[in-house]
A and B are shown apart, each in its own frame.
Chain A
Amino acid sequence: MTNKFNKNSVGIVEPKTVEIKQSLKLDCGKTLDNFSLVYETYGKLNEKKNNAILICHALSGDHHAAGYHKEDDKKPGWWDSCIGPGKPFDTNKFFIVSLNNLGGCQGSTGPNTIDKKTKKEYGPDFPIVTVKDWVNSQKLLADFLEIDIWACVIGGSLGGMQALQWSISYPNKIKNSIVVAAAAKLSAQNIAFNEVARQAIITDPDFHDGRYNNFGVIPKRGLSIARMLGHITYLSDDSMRQKFGRDLREGKLHFGYDVDFQVESYLRYQAQAFVERFDANTYLLMTKALDYFDPAEEFEGDLSKAFEKTDSKFLVISFTSDWRFSSTKSREIVKSLVKARKKVSYSEIEANQGHDAFLMPIPQYLDVLKNFMDNIN
């Protein structure tokens, strides 16, 4: 895989698709008879097959976590800062698997794929999947790849929830979990943000009860507003002040409702880019998966009981300026792990980027990840 890219890049990567011909019973009661998952791998699986790590993506992420699809791609995968030779998730040492979750819109079976039974697009009829369902589907991918035990399952935000769920659903199939900027359950405030995002989409006249593709439209306005709102909550007041302040785009006020401030321009640009690549039904589904996540529920509300059986060791990381998934939430996870007497390290990284910090190449953060990964054999 030689390439023109930086020597720390995994270079050109190619997504693969696996058709899972096993039925998957979902939390909602419905069953998917078969489904496809798109995934990428970086590094090599060793002979003992014990160097595999799983990367779980967050709300708007996908399987393309590192490297480039084409030589002229402008941007690498979403977690390229962490994945590659010599990086914290070192491809010289580990075999890294990253997939697009079920219900996603980047190739895995989801709302915009054709239901083989009805020969029609699933659209809004695609069942709502949960973090637990995702983990079960990821287990089937692991079986296909002949990976019995993950050396580590890693994720940030909604991805961190999947790492937690792995340690609970498959307590003996995971040796380490890295849970970054996550929560064991969302707060009312967090659910409220998700609800506003959903309402923006659902009330868009172009939404057509989720069957917008039949009408040749997409609920652009709703999806844009959902993304803008999300984006604001992923940044911190501080980082927005630093990035935009009250800077004007054209140096003067227009006394109208078009863009005056740089921050408005930025939000509109982000929203536009998002609308072009993301599906509204998937967005709705992902936010529900976030809202529903509460692994303690099955254990009388006691999260520590959920962790009792796990063999996993944990690293929990939060960021000082993250208010969407605050440090308090991470410390709740740590507290439950401690109560269950599990091996856990916790670090709160000084960062002003808000929730988005988990995607950033912050040196202290990468050091913590690297030091933890160095102990995984």
Chain B
Amino acid sequence: MDRKDFKIISNWIKKDSTVLDLGCGDSTLLDFLTSTKNITGYGFEKDLEKVKESIKKNISVIQSDFYTGLGEYFESSFFDYAVMTHALQENKNPDKILKEMLRVANEGIVTFPNMGFWKNRVELGFLGRMPISKSLPNKWFDTPNIHLCTFKDFEDLCKDLEIKILEKKVLDNSYSSNFLCKLSPNFFGEIALYRFKKD
């Protein structure tokens, strides 16, 4: 496990807690959290190939999309944490998802790529093209990222939704936190992690 973001998430999560991972992929994170924090919980995943991988890892995974699934399966405050890594920007209504996360869980954790990262600004602002990078690898017409935002945008949305940000970490594309990221996160940070709850 060398994903720095996963380590940060693991540090944020209390031992023996319950976790829902939205868009859990092959459940690498849930598997990691199970071994580091003895968590229990479920992964939500739409893609059958990834569901199969999750089952192989002995993780409880439910094949479902977020929108119908969250309301269908979980009562309010069912989990300690609802986590979503690199999927917020793929949602049709990121605001609704954030609200749902905080309905089913006491705290939410999200990670997403920063549209305000300086290289993205250069590509869009000077070269006049939609940015393509390690954290945003798809071309504009073939991308799941339909709701990209900057860190500032996200924080504004949280304010509107009365969501209190508890912790924030900004990383570069190799998932490490360098000096510049700390100096001006919305300019130098490529990926952000937020932990939040209802205000």
Contacts and interface: CB of A to CB of B under 8 A. Distances in A.
A371 interface: yes
Nearest to A331: B72
Interface string B64-108: 100000001111000000000000000000000000000000000
A315 B74 contact: no
A116 interface: no
Contact of B63 (A341, A343, A346): A346
A250 to B, nearest CB: 42
Q: Which 5 A-B pairs have the closest CB atoms?
A: A371-B56, A371-B55, A375-B58, A346-B62, A347-B63
Name the residue among A345, A348, A349, A375 with the largest chain B CB count within 10 angstroms.
Answer: A345
Contacts, number: 54
Given A349-B48, A350-B48, A368-B52, A335 B72 contact: yes
A345 B55 contact: yes
Given A368-B51, A368-B55, 13 more contacts: A315-B55, A334-B62, A338-B42, A345-B60, A345-B61, A346-B62, A347-B51, A347-B63, A348-B63, A350-B48, A368-B52, A372-B55, A375-B56
Interface in A321-377: 331, 334-335, 338-339, 341, 343-350, 364, 367-368, 371-372, 374-375
B54 interface: yes
B73 to A, nearest CB: 5
Interface residues of A, number: 22
Contacts of A343: 40, 60
Contact of B73 (A338, A345, A347, A348): A338
Contacts of B74: 338
Interface residues of B, number: 21
Interface of B: 18, 40, 42, 48, 51-56, 58-64, 72-75
23 contacts: A315-B55, A331-B73, A335-B73, A338-B42, A338-B73, A339-B75, A343-B60, A344-B60, A344-B62, A345-B51, A345-B59, A345-B62, A346-B61, A346-B63, A346-B64, A347-B51, A350-B48, A367-B52, A371-B52, A371-B53, A371-B56, A372-B55, A374-B56
Nearest to A338: B73
B18 to A, nearest CB: 8
Name the residue among B56, B59, B63 with the largest chain A CB count within 10 angstroms.
Answer: B63
Nearest to A334: B62
Contacts of A371: 52-53, 55-56
B65 to A, nearest CB: 11
B62 A341 contact: no
Contacts of A315: 55
A267 B48 CA distance: 34
Contacts of A349: 48
A364 B55 contact: no
Contacts of B64: 346
Contacts of A339: 75
A348 B48 CA distance: 8
B73 A334 contact: yes
Contacts of A346: 61-64
A139 B9 CA distance: 45
Name the residue among B42, B56, B62 with the largest chain A CB count within 10 angstroms.
Answer: B62
Given A334-B73, A335-B73, A339-B75, A347 B48 contact: yes
A162 to B, nearest CB: 22
A314 to B, nearest CB: 9
A285 B168 CA distance: 62
B180 to A, nearest CB: 42
